[in-house]
Chains A and B, each alone.
Chain A
Amino acid sequence: MPAESSHANVVAGHAGSIAVPPHALRHHFADLEQQRETATLGMWVFLITEVMFFGGMFAAYLVYRVAYPVAFQEASQHMAFLAGTVNTAVLICSSLFVACAVHAAQTGERKQIVFFLILALLLGMVFLGIKAVEYHDHWVEHTVPGASFQFQGTDPVHSEVFFALYFVMTGFHALHMLIGVGLVAVIIYFAWQGRYSPAYHTPVENVGLYWHFVDIIWIFLYPLLYLISHKHIY
């Protein structure tokens, strides 16, 4: 029934009834409620596949960490503790702003969605900037795995494994951050155009879920990579 979806639909559950723009409801859903729940579930399924993707790398870390604790501890002493801690705080703040943006979408405050998402976007870029400086410092200090890797320690070979895991894990995390920044930019544009309303704002919510997930990965990376260095593991 294509004619039905082209008319303004009405969604219950909010204060009063809200008219829904015709582009919001796809024809294969019964109503917006079903569409929203389906989209949210789909996002969670996707995020669980992402959990398993990163899980493989965390498992590799665990195996080598248990096998070579001293080499990992020594390597971790070359990590920028302050940069890692600041980046953790930056991501937590960005997550708060994304949560506030979702709140603004639910209550239909267009300018606040844009405002909070721009803050989150800027913090995402700050994170990537700090990460880039860290990568540069590792490059200068020859702690990038490969032909020019140099390390003074009891077990340089397995300290190199730590740095390999560090670059792969934070590299994939940074890639996810880049994608997140791009997605948030798109949502800012659509929000500015007034595409989202209390009745329809699933894209804001799902990009928010993605952003929080990327935050979660970093929350685990931070202790594993930065906090094992202070001369006291195991």
Chain B
Amino acid sequence: MAEVIVSRKIYVLVWLALMILTGLTAAISFVNLGTWSAPVAIGIASVKVLLVALFFMHLRYTQSKIVWVWAIAGIFWLTILFCLSMTDYITRGYLRVPGK
């Protein structure tokens, strides 16, 4: 399993995409999208992070599957952290507690 050398051209293309996405998210923040503002901004940030992880961090080129397992485990545990926390905080007002 030899090490893969990524060409400098790909790095520059990824950099260009990251800069364009940064400009895009900054520009979009001036537009009122109502409820969709936050999801759009987070969506663009997620695409940027994916680009950094896949190309700059070589995830796309790694031949070791266990690195992928760890990367996905990180996302998995973060999802548990966010989702289980929010199922508590969002639903607190659903049932009226007498005296509260």
Contact = CB atoms under 8 A, between A and B. Distances in A.
Interface residues of B, number: 51
A99 interface: yes
Given A13-B2, A37-B64, A62-B86, A100 B26 contact: no
B5 interface: yes
Contacts, number: 143
Contacts of A99: 6, 11, 55-56
Contacts of A36: 3
A130 interface: no
Contacts of A227: 25-26, 29, 37, 41
- Residues of A contacting B: mostly: helix
B85 to A, nearest CB: 5
B74 interface: yes
Given A66-B86, A230-B29, A92 B18 contact: yes
Interface string B33-76: 11101100110110011001101110000101011001101100
B57 A96 contact: no
A62 B52 contact: no
Interface string B5-42: 11010011011001100100110011111110110011
A75 to B, nearest CB: 15
B94 interface: no
Nearest to A14: B2
Interface residues of A, number: 56
28 contacts: A13-B3, A33-B2, A41-B64, A44-B71, A52-B77, A52-B78, A52-B81, A55-B77, A55-B78, A56-B81, A62-B82, A66-B86, A93-B15, A96-B15, A99-B55, A103-B5, A215-B56, A216-B53, A219-B52, A220-B42, A220-B45, A222-B25, A224-B42, A227-B26, A228-B37, A231-B32, A232-B31, A233-B38
Interface of A: 12-14, 33, 36-37, 40-41, 44-45, 47-48, 51-52, 55-56, 58-59, 62-63, 66-67, 81, 85, 88-89, 92-93, 95-96, 98-100, 103, 106-107, 208-209, 212-213, 215-216, 219-220, 222-224, 226-234
Given A13-B1, A41-B64, A81-B26, 19 more contacts: A41-B66, A44-B70, A44-B71, A48-B70, A52-B74, A52-B77, A55-B78, A67-B89, A89-B22, A92-B15, A93-B15, A96-B12, A103-B11, A212-B52, A222-B25, A223-B29, A223-B45, A232-B32, A232-B37
